[in-house]
Chains A and B, each alone.
Chain A
Amino acid sequence: MPQSHIMPGFRPTLGFTLFYLALIVLIPLSALVFKSMQLSLDQYGDILTNARVQASFRVSFVSALIAAGIAALFGFIIAWTLVRYPFPGKRLFDALIDLPFALPTAVAGIVLAAIYEPNGWIGRIVMDTLGVQIAYKPLGIVFALIFIGLPFVVRTVEPVLQEFDTAMEEAAASLGANRLQTFIRIILPNILPATLTGFALAFARGVGEYGSVIFIAGNMPYVSEIVPLLIITKLEQYDYAGATAIGLTMLVISFLLLLLVNALQWWVRRRSGQL
């Protein structure tokens, strides 16, 4: 540790960081690993190859991916509107964005289910016009996860858009670019890394989301049963080892996916000279 730092405190702050990380994150997660070690590899394999387990993994990850993708798109548009245009009630609207952060997720789930169920306000209209049922179907899970994930995207994209130098757009226009070319070649590359971060956050949150989903999903095994629910089910049957096995697998997959998104971000930043 070189002594040339202006601010003292490298040792205590690093110590605190490691202690905190160990206490809150690493120790509980390694407990998960140890618990699942009670199982032999065969037992572990049996649990994971179980058709119902596999179906729930598919439901969880596919719906989280779709929801994060849609949230990224919508969140981008909302952030754009909030940053670029003045309109009445903007501050109120801006405050509303954060509501899903604060709302108990179960409340969100119940409200969403009530509105989107086949007899609900919106659910009925969609049912009548398109013949599509939202609540109590996998589609309902996607709806709930969009609701949960949206603020993550808006809040990560917004500051980057605010900082974006609009003179770059004027420069592009003065060089003969039309608006579409300016958007695709100038704005998008500068905002993409932040949008990817928002996507990753929304996705990570979506995979682990429990409260809002179980009320709207219908929770049909093989169809709309998410992994967290399956873990709870196993726990209720005192199958602790089984629950930890599923939990550990979920952890590993989530970690790999987030790593992938980070790598993608790094690649985008590097390609656009931001590293």
Chain B
Amino acid sequence: MSITLNNIGKRFGNFAALDNINLEIPEGELVALLGPSGCGKTTLLRIIAGLEQADRGQVLLNGSDVTDQPVKNRQIGFVFQHYALFRHMTVFDNIAFGLRVKPRKERPSETKIQEKVHALLNLVQLDWLADRFPDQLSGGQRQRIALARALAVEPSVLLLDEPFGALDASVRKDLRLWLRHLHHELNVTSIFVTHDQEEAMEVASQIVVLNHGKIEQKGSPSEIYDSPNNDFVSRFIGHTNVFQLEKDDSSWLAGAGIIIDDPKGIVAHVRPHNIQVEKPQDPANSPVYLKDWQHLGAIIRLELSKDGTNGKATTIFAEMPNEQFRELALQKGDRLSLHIKHAHWFN
């Protein structure tokens, strides 16, 4: 089901949680609402679900206005941040709940419910937990049961609030991939909220970046990463080095490959992997030296220090593949020369 948001606005007292949000989500997408905490992403998700009312604007599901419909009539599945499993019910009863509360005419027979619940438990690969209570499950298991429970009512939209927020890192990695696969399998329009840009990049087909209640940018992960709309998006997605033409040593920047004769802005954002690190021909004259490095697996992140004209040192991050780092055989304190291959300019 497609989702359309028209001019959504929401205030909490004097604080504008959401300001004029317009968004179109086509059927079958897996969308991430990404932003720092307090940016209004969870509020937006809850407004789409009908758990909260917007002050202004409309929510359209499949073209029909559901703004005034309560959550139970919207045919949505909602997965809560802390799962909100019914702790007095077994896993089986949790998943069956949505089927059992249907009006008598629509309610499936008990054998149908049994079949359906076991099918869902198999889908989330936890059939052996049917008789357990939520308190006896691990975080990752609870998460998957919450998802199975939401799917039981065959929602046309699936909404997930920080679905991996409360899980430890390794479980989170597995579940991200699993959610992506599940989405391929079911193809139900899904929106999830996250503050983790890596998670959004890894799972979503579309990312909506929010800040201060406004949409900063919307697009595929590569669009967002490769051509950020503005300063905020560029800083928020991935690592970036920020050079300010006025403050930074502009002759050094020019030497490092940035064209400053006709700059397209006053601030240059450079991704660490867009900085090429070389051994300089004249080490004594290079203002940059290697302070430290971090081993991130396939790549090495170099922490470089550049002496400023005013005596203040700035830190620059650069990244290179493991092999290249080994070939260069760098030591801490080595002088280096940098070549900037690509920069984003903002005002």
Kindly state whether residue A12 has any CB partner on chain B within 8 Å: no
Kindly state whether residue A176 has any CB partner on chain B within 8 Å: yes
Residues of B contacting A42 in the complex (Cβ-Cβ under 8 angstroms): none
Kindly state whether residue B51 has any CB partner on chain A within 8 Å: yes
Instruction: List the one stretch of A20-28, A63-71, A183-191, A249-257 in contact with chain B.
Output: A183-191
B65-113 interface with A by 8 A CB criterion: 70-72, 76-78, 80, 82, 84-90, 97-98, 101-102
Given contacts A168-B84, A170-B80, whether A175 and B89 have CB atoms under 8 Å apart is: no
Given contacts A167-B82, A273-B133, A273-B134, whether A174 and B71 have CB atoms under 8 Å apart is: yes
User: How far is A181 from B135 in the complex, measured between Cα atoms in Å?
Assistant: 23
User: How far is A197 from B152 in the complex, measured between Cα atoms in Å?
Assistant: 36
Interface centre among A174, A178, A190, A274 (most CB of B within 10 A): A174
Residues of B contacting A172 in the complex (Cβ-Cβ under 8 angstroms): 86, 97, 101
- A190 with B51: CB separation less than 8 A: no
Kindly state whether residue B150 has any CB partner on chain A within 8 Å: yes
User: How far is A170 from B88 in the complex, measured between Cα atoms in Å?
Assistant: 16
A186 to chain B, nearest CB (A): 6
Total A-B pairs, Cβ < 8 A: 74
- B84 with A181: CB separation less than 8 A: no
B198 to chain A, nearest CB (A): 26
Kindly state whether residue B49 has any CB partner on chain A within 8 Å: yes
User: How far is A207 from B223 in the complex, measured between Cα atoms in Å?
Assistant: 74
B217 to chain A, nearest CB (A): 29
Given contacts A185-B97, A273-B133, whether A173 and B70 have CB atoms under 8 Å apart is: yes
Residues of A contacting B101 in the complex (Cβ-Cβ under 8 angstroms): 172, 175-178, 181, 185
Residues of B contacting A176 in the complex (Cβ-Cβ under 8 angstroms): 72, 98, 101-102, 153
A265 to chain B, nearest CB (A): 14
Chain B proximity mask over A252-275: 1 for CB below 8 Å, otherwise 0: 000000000000000000011110
B117 to chain A, nearest CB (A): 13
Residues of A contacting B78 in the complex (Cβ-Cβ under 8 angstroms): 170-171, 174
User: How far is A137 from B82 in the complex, measured between Cα atoms in Å?
Assistant: 53
- A171 with B84: CB separation less than 8 A: yes
User: How far is A174 from B76 in the complex, measured between Cα atoms in Å?
Assistant: 7
What are the 6 A-B residue pairs with the smallest beta carbon separation, nearest first?
A273-B133, A272-B88, A175-B98, A167-B84, A177-B101, A174-B78
- A174 with B87: CB separation less than 8 A: no
User: How far is A170 from B74 in the complex, measured between Cα atoms in Å?
Assistant: 13
User: How far is A189 from B135 in the complex, measured between Cα atoms in Å?
Assistant: 16
Kindly state whether residue B149 has any CB partner on chain A within 8 Å: yes
B51 to chain A, nearest CB (A): 5
Q: Which one of A165, A177, A178, A190 lies within 8 Å of B84 (CB-CB)?
A: A165
- B88 with A174: CB separation less than 8 A: no
Residues of B at the A interface (CB closer than 8 Å) are: 49, 51, 70-72, 76-78, 80, 82, 84-90, 97-98, 101-102, 133-135, 149-150, 152-153
Q: Which one of A167, A178, A181, A274 lies within 8 Å of B88 (CB-CB)?
A: A274
Residues of B contacting A186 in the complex (Cβ-Cβ under 8 angstroms): 86
- B82 with A273: CB separation less than 8 A: no
User: How far is A273 from B89 in the complex, measured between Cα atoms in Å?
Assistant: 7
User: How far is A189 from B94 in the complex, measured between Cα atoms in Å?
Assistant: 14
- A173 with B87: CB separation less than 8 A: no
- B88 with A189: CB separation less than 8 A: yes
Given contacts A168-B86, A274-B88, whether A174 and B150 have CB atoms under 8 Å apart is: yes
Residues of A contacting B49 in the complex (Cβ-Cβ under 8 angstroms): 174
Residues of B contacting A177 in the complex (Cβ-Cβ under 8 angstroms): 72, 97-98, 101
Interface centre among A165, A172, A175, A273 (most CB of B within 10 A): A175
Q: Which one of B51, B87, B97, B152 lies within 8 Å of A273 (CB-CB)?
A: B87
Residues of A contacting B77 in the complex (Cβ-Cβ under 8 angstroms): 174
Residues of A contacting B134 in the complex (Cβ-Cβ under 8 angstroms): 273
- A175 with B87: CB separation less than 8 A: no
A132-167 interface with B by 8 A CB criterion: 165, 167
Interface centre among A165, A176, A185, A186 (most CB of B within 10 A): A176
Closest to A188 in B: B88
A9 to chain B, nearest CB (A): 30
Residues of B contacting A189 in the complex (Cβ-Cβ under 8 angstroms): 88
User: How far is A32 from B82 in the complex, measured between Cα atoms in Å?
Assistant: 54
User: How far is A260 from B48 in the complex, measured between Cα atoms in Å?
Assistant: 49
A65 to chain B, nearest CB (A): 26
B79 to chain A, nearest CB (A): 9
- A274 with B87: CB separation less than 8 A: yes
Given contacts A174-B51, A175-B98, whether A273 and B149 have CB atoms under 8 Å apart is: no
Residues of A contacting B152 in the complex (Cβ-Cβ under 8 angstroms): 175
B68 to chain A, nearest CB (A): 15
Closest to B51 in A: A170
Known A168-B84, A175-B149; further 11 A-B contacts with Cβ < 8 A: A170-B84, A173-B70, A175-B72, A175-B98, A175-B101, A177-B72, A177-B98, A186-B86, A272-B89, A273-B87, A273-B89
| A-B pairs with beta carbons under 8 Å apart, 21 shown | A165-B84, A168-B87, A171-B84, A171-B86, A173-B70, A174-B51, A174-B76, A174-B77, A175-B72, A175-B97, A175-B149, A175-B150, A175-B152, A175-B153, A176-B101, A185-B101, A190-B88, A271-B88, A273-B87, A273-B133, A273-B134
Interface centre among B80, B88, B89, B98 (most CB of A within 10 A): B88
- A273 with B71: CB separation less than 8 A: no
Residues of A contacting B82 in the complex (Cβ-Cβ under 8 angstroms): 165, 167
Residues of B contacting A274 in the complex (Cβ-Cβ under 8 angstroms): 87-88
